[in-house]
Amino acid sequence: MSKKLARIRALLESDPNNAFGWYSLAMEERKTDEGAALATFARVRRDFPEYLPNYYHYAQAAAAGGDLEQARQLYRDGIELARKLGDTHTLSELQGALDLL
């Protein structure tokens, strides 16, 4: 296990309600274990549904794993949340990614 992964896991042990920590774990897992990353992205979505950055990268991981329909749905859900939160920059990124898929 990398030092960075160990630090993230230690952070989550002390603060399991840290959405950014879980998201960071998923991003780090993507480097070596796509399946673990997908499970962690799913956890972030379940436990922190308004953590907007998760939708883009979760959809990318789903698409990379061949699940294009899940990726499309994640982009759509992220777009809806970005509208709700008034985050036009992220909305534009999510829409662009969906259009390219």
**The total number of residues written for the chain in this structure:** 101
DSSP conformational letter for 100: H
Confidence check: pLDDT of 10 > 90: yes
pLDDT in tens, 54-86: 999 999 999 999 999 999 999 999 999 999 999
Distances (CA, A) of 27 to 31, 80, 95: 7, 23, 21
Mean pLDDT of 21-37: 96
Question: So what's the pLDDT on residue 1?
Answer: 73
Domains annotated for the chain, with CATH where assigned, are: 3-100 (1.25.40.10)
Mean pLDDT of 83-94: 97
